[in-house]
Structure 1
Amino acid sequence: MIEWLIAMVIGVFLVGGGLSIFVVSRSTTEDSFDQSELQENGRVAMRLLTQDLKWAGFWGDYTGLPMTIGQGVALSAGSIIASASDCLDELGRGSLPSATGSMRPLWVVRVDNNKLIAGGAFACIPAASRMANTDVVSIKRLIGRPLADGVATGNRFYLATTTQTAQMFKGGEVVPSDAAMPARQLWEYQHFVYYLSPNTATGNPELRKRYLTANGGSLLIGGAMAEGIERLSVLFGVDDSLVPDGTIERYVATNNVTDQEWSEGRVIAARVFILVRSLRASTSYVNNNTYQVGTVSVQGNGDGFRRLLLESSVSLRNPAMILGGGA
């Protein structure tokens, strides 16, 4: 009986030790999985944004200023997008160049506490699909490499460029001839809109992306580009020198950049902040941290979600051509 009792006690200790190791191992595995998930989702989101930001305002070999109809830029008869299908800014300008002012190759606007955007901009994003206190990033540029004439037939807009002129046309339309535009090159034109939206099924925040089509206007790419992206904020680096020397004196939110600073090419960089949140709350973790996402402070508020704050700086391409920050 004594030996049996001793064996039972030893067995209890062994089982308890095994359970303790299992619990610790499970917690460690959960933590490692969450950290890996945070890093992967954040890496994907940051790479998508920074790659497009680097090429904002890239117009191939066209070096004319500004990107305005009648000033070196022309649109074909088919280069039209209905306002209801487009993503308009607060000035009523959409994805394509207009005759009323220079086009914004890069524009960032904040969604406020009530999920509203100043001037009613970006009505293409329903209010229910917006995340409060986060930025919407609009990027216009040419993508890929110069195309052969026979390729310019898809559901896209294309830009034929020389150093002094640019002609936009719809896929399937007659391509501008070499006689009309000597030594011209053909490119696909694109307008990307990045924003954060809650998943309709899980409620988890995710990075969404819209792109431009010739027949349907601005369309949402199916599925999330990256999951768990809770906040997105962009600050612009401004050169305040009397004579611009390419040195950043300060980073400011887009609303604090003046028209003159845009037009003088003083906005030379962008600093991107992304706050990534785990997709599931942990029962063994309490988050009381504060995260400074650009100009926005985000509190953990004691929830069980792990978070990771990422930051990256991007030099803007041809900053003197990014004229669109002002009116």
Structure 2
Amino acid sequence: MISASRRKSGGMSIIELMIAMAIGMFLIAGAISLFVVSKRTYSEAERTARMGENARFALQTLSADLRLGGFFGEVPAADLKGRTGLAAVTGDCTGRGAAYGYNNYLFVARTNIGGNAIGCIVDAVPNTDVVIIKSVRPFPLSDGVRDDPGDDDGTIDMPGVLDGQKTYVMANPITGRIFDGAGTVPSIGEGGAVPRGNAWEYRFQAYYIRAGDVPQLSRKVLSWDGAGMAITTEDVVEGVENLRVMIGEDRDRDGETDRYLDSTDTSIDWSRVTSMKVFLLVRSADRDVGYTDQRTYTLGNTTLAAPNDNFHRIVVQSDVSLRNSKLLVRGTK
């Protein structure tokens, strides 16, 4: 006869073992499910954050440069007196997009069906806008320490000397000259071409959407290519899929925008443009196989059809007041 103590030490029955295994599998499945959901939530949050960060950076960069459009130091574009010994620019843009065409300091073009625009852009997303900006960097090179008249010797040397691989605008409040750093420098002495002038580094930028597996906000810039000044390409931020701009005109020159027009409108008077509405369509860098984008997107006066693909997208917008243009428009009322 088997004692009670021996029956109690006989271990688990098959049924008890199966129940324990089932409970264990249920708990493991729950943990796996929770992990998958958490990972997906984290991935979506990371994707959204990265997309938003790219959108903000792209919009802030473009908007900041637009606000500087037409700024040439101490002199308006109309008072720049031509070019001093400027060499030809390799791969220069054409028409209003020409790198040294400083009178056309702000302009927006539309790429054609082949992704081409302004003679120097051949790799853009078709039917997107190109924003051309000409200005100088907002800090000058001067003749010595400005509060020490004894340091004025007619040579630009503060806070650094001129760079032979850059282009500059020499300007005072009355006149200005654009010149190559390696070329003949306009005289800044008394009776010179630009008396007591400061040198400001000249900038040309043409923002556009560069086509590729992942589209990017890029820009054509004026830079040294080893032999001379040339138009080269810089990528600004990835994932920007479309760029559209509405052009604001001040018709009565009172400092207020009276109407907004599509960038292709032939009635635009660029001498009266005082603001722009900038729209960017930004997409995620990676596909989300569990998502289909069936939304339409409105950029200004244009509505884009639903992409029906696996990318997430957002639209960001900025209303940019063109400070220098406003001053010029009101000054010619």
- Asked if TM exceeds 0.5, the reply is yes
Aligned residue-pair number: 294
How much has 1:143 moved relative to structure 2? 0.7
Q: Map 1:179-194 onto structure 2 (within 5 A).
A: 179=190, 180=192, 181-194=194-207
What percentage of residue pairs aligned between the two structures are identical? 32
Q: Map 1:249-288 onto structure 2 (within 5 A).
A: 249-256=258-265, 258=267, 261-263=269-271, 265=272, 267-288=273-294
Residue matched to 1:232:
243
The one-character-per-residue Cα deviations of 1:80-125 (angstroms, maximum 9, x if unpaired) are 324x521113x6x62114xxxx7210111111334244xxx2x222
2:120 to 108, 120, 124: 124
Q: Is the 8 A contact 1:27 1:284 kept in 2?
A: no
Q: 1:322 to 1:219 in 2, by over 3 A?
A: farther
The one-character-per-residue Cα deviations of 1:201-232 (angstroms, maximum 9, x if unpaired) are xx1101112211361321123xx210100001
2:39 to 5, 8, 26: 26
Residue matched to 1:66:
78
2:21 corresponds to 1:8 = yes
Aligned partners of 2:83, 2:301: CA distance in 1, in Å? 39
Q: Is the 8 A contact 1:169 1:175 kept in 2?
A: yes
Q: Is the 8 A contact 1:229 1:275 kept in 2?
A: yes
Which 5+ residue runs of structure 1 have no aligned equivalent? none
Aligned partners of 2:223, 2:50: CA distance in 1, in Å? 32
Residue matched to 1:42:
55
Larger Rg belongs to: 2
State the AA in 2 paired with 1:35: T
Q: TM-score, normalised by structure 2?
A: 0.82
2:140 corresponds to 1:146 = yes
Aligned partners of 1:13, 1:132: CA distance in 2, in Å? 54
Q: 1:299 to 1:219 in 2, by over 3 A?
A: same
CA RMSD of aligned residues (A): 2.1
* 2:275 partner SS: strand
Which 5+ residue runs of structure 2 have no aligned equivalent? 1-13, 143-155
Residue matched to 2:183:
173
Q: Map 1:287-306 onto structure 2 (within 5 A).
A: 287-306=293-312
Q: TM-score, normalised by structure 1?
A: 0.83
Which of 1 and 2 has higher RCO (CA within 8 Å, sep 6+)? 1
Residue matched to 2:30:
17
Deviating runs (4+, > 3 A) in structure 1?
A: 320-323
Q: 1:153 to 1:139 in 2, by over 3 A?
A: same
Aligned partners of 2:250, 2:266: CA distance in 1, in Å? 11
How much has 1:257 moved relative to structure 2? 5.8
Q: Map 1:213-224 onto structure 2 (within 5 A).
A: 213=223, 215-221=228-234, 224=235
Q: 1:66 to 1:268 in 2, by over 3 A?
A: same
* 1:147 partner SS: coil
